Structure 1
C-alpha cells in the first residue's frame, strides 16, 4: 500500500508519486527489468553522454541510483529492526565523484545493479508484516519502512525519466 504523505519527508513526495498502485515488491522486480532493457544495448558514446556541462553521464546516473538504493536498504534494515538511531544523509555528488563509474561498462553496472535490486527484494520479502510500518529517522526526517521502499522505486523512475527526456534514451 502506498505510504501516507505523513510517512516520509515532503522532499520525497515526487518520488513516491511516480510509483503506481500495486505490490511494491512486484513493482521493484519488474522495474529493474524495464530499466535494463532501456540501457542494455547502448553504445559507449551514449553511456558517456552528459546532456550539459557538470551533469552526470549515463554511467554515473546508473551508479548513483544503485548507490542510493544501497543506502536506502541500510535505512530499511535499521528501521525494520527497531533501531532508532538517527541516520545521516549523504552527499550524492561526492559519491559519484569518488565512484569511478565512468571507467566501467554499462553491462558491468547493470550486472551489479541486478545484485543490489535482488538484495532489496530479498530484504523486503523477509520483513515481518509489522516491520513495514516501523519508523526511523534519516537525513533529518522521519520515515516508515514502507515509504523507503516506495522512495527506492520512485527514485529509479525519476532517473529513468531523465534518461529518456534529457539523455534521449528509449
Structure 2
C-alpha cells in the first residue's frame, strides 16, 4: 500500500529541491516547455526497459517506474487542462486531483509501457506547445488550487515541471541538465 503524498510542494517555487536539485526560482517560465520536452524524451527512454522491471516496485510502499510514468502522463494531461483554463478563464478554481486514487482506479502498474510512452510523449508535447504560445502578458494570469493556493501561469509552469523532473529522480533516471544549468 502506498502512503498518500499529502505534502504541499509549492515550496519548490522558493528554494531548490534538496533531492533532485531543481531550482524553480532560477528557471524562466519561457524555458519550461523545452525542459518538459527533455523530460518526456527521458521518460520514453525509461519506459523502453523490460515490462517486468518497469512493474517491479523497489519497496511495497514506493511506486514502480511504470506507475510513476503513468502518473507523469496524467500530470501532463491535467497540467495542460489547467494551463488552458488559466489562459481562458478568469481565476478558475482547479479541482483537487487524488493521484493515489487515480493510480489504483486506473491500474497504473498493469498498463502497457509502450502505450504509456506514446501517451506521455503526446501529452508532454501538447502542453509544451501550449506553453510556447503563452504571450508575455499572459504569464501572470491566475488560477486557484482547491486548497486556495494561488498560481499564475508562470508559477504553475515552474511548479509543474518540478514534478516531472523529480519523478525521474525517483526512478533513478535523473535528467542530465549539466548543459543547461540547474533549471
Verify: 1:113 aligned to 2:120, yes or no.
yes
Q: Once superposed, which parts of structure 1, at least 4 consecutive aligned residues long, lie more than 4 Å away? A: none
Of 95, 98, 103, 1:91 maps to 98
Considering only aligned residues, what root-mean-square deviation do their CA atoms show, in Å?
2.1
The structure where helix makes up a greater share of residues is: 1
Normalised by the length of structure 1, the TM-score is: 0.80
CA contact (8 A) 2:76 2:120 kept: no
Per the alignment, residue 131 of structure 1 pairs with: 138
Q: With CA pairs under 8 Å and 6+ residues apart, which has the higher RCO, 1 or 2? A: 1
Verify: 1:157 aligned to 2:165, yes or no.
yes
Per the alignment, residue 168 of structure 1 pairs with: none
Pairwise CA distance, 1:129: 1.9
CA distance in 2: counterparts of 1:91 and 1:150, whole angstroms: 21
Structure 1: stretches of 5+ with no match in the other structure:
1-9, 166-170
Q: 1:26-47: per-residue Cα shift (whole Å, max 9, x none)?
A: 212222222322x143112211
Q: 1:111-159: per-residue Cα shift (whole Å, max 9, x none)?
A: 1101101110111122222111111211321001011111221101111
Pairwise CA distance, 1:69: 2.2
Structure 2: stretches of 5+ with no match in the other structure:
1-7, 17-21, 174-183
CA distance in 1: counterparts of 2:74 and 2:110, whole angstroms: 16
CA distance in 1: counterparts of 2:156 and 2:92, whole angstroms: 16
Distance 1:47-1:31 versus aligned 2 partners, 3 A rule: same
Per the alignment, residue 11 of structure 2 pairs with: 13
Normalised by the length of structure 2, the TM-score is: 0.75
CA contact (8 A) 1:63 1:101 kept: yes
Pairwise CA distance, 1:15: 7.1
Pairwise CA distance, 1:93: 0.6
Verify: 1:29 aligned to 2:37, yes or no.
yes
CA distance in 2: counterparts of 1:15 and 1:65, whole angstroms: 19
Per the alignment, residue 142 of structure 1 pairs with: 150
